[in-house]
Amino acid sequence: MKTLALVLTVAALAACSDRQPDTAAPATDAPASGAAADANDPSSAEAPAPMPGDDPESGPASAQASMDTAYVQDDYLGRWTGVEGMYLEVAAKPEGGVTLDMQWDLDNRGTFDGSVTAEGLRFMRNGVAETAVPSDGDATGLKYLAGKQNCLTVKPGEGYCRD
Protein backbone atom coordinates (compact mmCIF):
# COMPACT_ATOMS: atom_id res chain seq x y z
CA MET A 1 0.00 0.00 0.00
CA LYS A 2 2.85 2.38 0.81
CA THR A 3 4.39 1.63 -2.58
CA LEU A 4 1.15 2.55 -4.36
CA ALA A 5 0.94 5.84 -2.42
CA LEU A 6 4.55 6.62 -3.31
CA VAL A 7 3.96 5.86 -7.02
CA LEU A 8 0.84 8.07 -7.06
CA THR A 9 2.71 10.91 -5.35
CA VAL A 10 5.56 10.75 -7.86
CA ALA A 11 3.06 10.62 -10.75
CA ALA A 12 1.19 13.66 -9.38
CA LEU A 13 4.41 15.64 -8.96
CA ALA A 14 5.53 14.73 -12.48
CA ALA A 15 2.16 15.82 -13.89
CA CYS A 16 2.43 19.20 -12.13
CA SER A 17 5.99 19.82 -13.27
CA ASP A 18 6.62 22.36 -16.03
CA ARG A 19 9.77 20.53 -17.11
CA GLN A 20 9.63 18.43 -20.22
CA PRO A 21 11.27 15.03 -20.26
CA ASP A 22 14.64 15.00 -22.01
CA THR A 23 14.07 13.02 -25.20
CA ALA A 24 17.21 14.24 -26.95
CA ALA A 25 20.39 12.23 -27.31
CA PRO A 26 22.83 12.47 -24.43
CA ALA A 27 24.77 15.72 -24.35
CA THR A 28 28.27 15.80 -25.74
CA ASP A 29 31.05 18.29 -25.21
CA ALA A 30 30.54 19.90 -28.62
CA PRO A 31 27.16 19.99 -30.32
CA ALA A 32 27.03 18.46 -33.77
CA SER A 33 26.75 20.86 -36.67
CA GLY A 34 23.14 21.88 -37.18
CA ALA A 35 22.04 20.52 -33.80
CA ALA A 36 19.03 22.19 -32.27
CA ALA A 37 19.64 24.57 -29.38
CA ASP A 38 18.37 23.65 -25.92
CA ALA A 39 15.15 25.62 -25.43
CA ASN A 40 15.80 25.92 -21.70
CA ASP A 41 19.34 27.34 -22.13
CA PRO A 42 19.31 30.97 -23.34
CA SER A 43 23.08 30.90 -23.86
CA SER A 44 22.65 28.24 -26.53
CA ALA A 45 20.09 30.19 -28.54
CA GLU A 46 21.18 30.93 -32.07
CA ALA A 47 20.66 34.30 -33.69
CA PRO A 48 17.54 34.36 -35.85
CA ALA A 49 18.05 33.95 -39.56
CA PRO A 50 18.13 37.26 -41.44
CA MET A 51 14.88 38.35 -43.01
CA PRO A 52 14.64 39.76 -46.54
CA GLY A 53 15.63 43.42 -46.44
CA ASP A 54 17.84 43.08 -43.36
CA ASP A 55 21.06 45.04 -43.47
CA PRO A 56 23.93 43.05 -41.93
CA GLU A 57 25.48 46.23 -40.51
CA SER A 58 22.41 47.99 -39.13
CA GLY A 59 20.21 45.06 -38.18
CA PRO A 60 16.69 43.97 -39.14
CA ALA A 61 14.64 45.90 -41.66
CA SER A 62 12.05 48.17 -40.08
CA ALA A 63 8.37 47.38 -40.16
CA GLN A 64 8.27 49.85 -43.01
CA ALA A 65 9.74 47.72 -45.76
CA SER A 66 8.51 50.26 -48.30
CA MET A 67 10.48 53.08 -46.66
CA ASP A 68 13.98 53.45 -48.11
CA THR A 69 15.39 55.69 -45.38
CA ALA A 70 14.79 56.13 -41.67
CA TYR A 71 12.73 59.12 -40.60
CA VAL A 72 14.42 61.84 -38.57
CA GLN A 73 12.62 64.45 -36.49
CA ASP A 74 12.50 67.00 -39.33
CA ASP A 75 10.61 64.49 -41.49
CA TYR A 76 7.71 64.52 -39.01
CA LEU A 77 7.44 68.29 -38.52
CA GLY A 78 4.52 70.13 -40.07
CA ARG A 79 0.91 69.38 -40.85
CA TRP A 80 -0.48 65.96 -41.75
CA THR A 81 -4.08 65.68 -43.00
CA GLY A 82 -6.54 62.94 -42.10
CA VAL A 83 -10.15 62.44 -43.14
CA GLU A 84 -13.23 64.48 -42.24
CA GLY A 85 -11.31 67.35 -40.66
CA MET A 86 -8.81 65.21 -38.76
CA TYR A 87 -5.24 66.47 -38.66
CA LEU A 88 -1.89 66.09 -36.96
CA GLU A 89 0.41 69.10 -36.48
CA VAL A 90 3.93 68.22 -35.30
CA ALA A 91 6.23 70.94 -33.91
CA ALA A 92 9.72 70.72 -32.41
CA LYS A 93 10.12 71.63 -28.74
CA PRO A 94 13.14 73.81 -27.83
CA GLU A 95 14.16 71.43 -25.03
CA GLY A 96 13.94 68.38 -27.34
CA GLY A 97 11.15 66.16 -28.51
CA VAL A 98 8.02 67.24 -30.30
CA THR A 99 4.53 68.50 -29.58
CA LEU A 100 1.56 66.97 -31.37
CA ASP A 101 -1.58 69.04 -31.84
CA MET A 102 -4.22 66.76 -33.25
CA GLN A 103 -7.88 66.14 -33.98
CA TRP A 104 -8.07 62.33 -34.13
CA ASP A 105 -11.81 61.84 -34.42
CA LEU A 106 -14.93 63.98 -34.68
CA ASP A 107 -15.18 64.52 -30.94
CA ASN A 108 -11.57 64.54 -29.71
CA ARG A 109 -8.83 67.11 -30.03
CA GLY A 110 -5.71 67.59 -27.92
CA THR A 111 -2.04 68.47 -27.61
CA PHE A 112 0.51 65.88 -26.51
CA ASP A 113 4.26 65.63 -25.96
CA GLY A 114 6.04 63.10 -28.15
CA SER A 115 9.40 61.82 -29.30
CA VAL A 116 10.88 60.44 -32.48
CA THR A 117 12.04 56.82 -32.18
CA ALA A 118 13.19 54.17 -34.61
CA GLU A 119 9.61 52.83 -34.70
CA GLY A 120 7.98 56.18 -35.38
CA LEU A 121 6.49 59.16 -33.60
CA ARG A 122 5.65 58.09 -30.02
CA PHE A 123 3.25 59.88 -27.72
CA MET A 124 0.85 59.30 -24.83
CA ARG A 125 -2.78 60.10 -25.55
CA ASN A 126 -5.31 59.81 -22.76
CA GLY A 127 -3.11 57.36 -20.86
CA VAL A 128 -2.45 55.11 -23.86
CA ALA A 129 0.98 54.83 -25.51
CA GLU A 130 0.58 55.41 -29.25
CA THR A 131 3.02 55.38 -32.17
CA ALA A 132 2.46 57.08 -35.52
CA VAL A 133 4.35 54.83 -37.93
CA PRO A 134 5.51 55.97 -41.38
CA SER A 135 3.38 54.23 -44.00
CA ASP A 136 1.45 54.75 -47.19
CA GLY A 137 -2.22 55.66 -47.45
CA ASP A 138 -3.32 52.07 -48.04
CA ALA A 139 -1.90 51.07 -44.62
CA THR A 140 -4.18 53.57 -42.85
CA GLY A 141 -7.26 51.62 -43.88
CA LEU A 142 -8.94 54.85 -44.92
CA LYS A 143 -10.42 55.02 -48.43
CA TYR A 144 -9.76 58.78 -48.76
CA LEU A 145 -6.03 58.29 -48.10
CA ALA A 146 -5.60 55.23 -50.36
CA GLY A 147 -2.88 55.67 -52.96
CA LYS A 148 -1.00 58.38 -51.05
CA GLN A 149 2.66 57.71 -50.34
CA ASN A 150 3.80 59.91 -47.43
CA CYS A 151 1.62 59.01 -44.45
CA LEU A 152 1.59 58.17 -40.75
CA THR A 153 -0.61 55.41 -39.34
CA VAL A 154 -1.47 55.39 -35.63
CA LYS A 155 -3.84 52.40 -35.85
CA PRO A 156 -6.26 51.01 -38.43
CA GLY A 157 -8.73 53.76 -39.24
CA GLU A 158 -6.46 56.55 -37.94
CA GLY A 159 -3.92 57.96 -40.32
CA TYR A 160 -2.62 61.22 -41.69
CA CYS A 161 -0.89 62.00 -45.01
CA ARG A 162 0.89 64.76 -46.83
CA ASP A 163 -0.04 65.46 -50.43
Q: Of 58, 38, 42, 41, give the one whose Cα is nearest residue 50.
A: 58
DSSP category for residue 76: H
- Give yes or no for a contact between 26 and 38, defined as CB atoms under 8 angstroms apart: no
Measure the CA–CA gap between 154 and 21, rounded to whole angstroms: 45
3-state secondary structure of 140: helix
Measure the CA–CA gap between 75 and 159, rounded to whole angstroms: 16
pLDDT at 71: 74
- For the chain, what is the mean pLDDT? 73
Q: Count CB-CB contacts under 10 A for residue 125.
A: 15
**Domain 73-162, classified CATH 2.40.128, yes or no:** yes
How confident is the model over 86-111, as a mean pLDDT?
A: 94
> Which percentage of the chain shows pLDDT scores above 90?
51
Which helix (H) or strand (E) is 74 found in, with range? helix 73-76
Task: For residue range 142-163, list pLDDT tens digits in order.
Answer: 999 999 999 999 999 999 999 7
pTM exceeds 0.75, yes or no:
no
Look at 4 and 106; give whichever has higher pLDDT. 106
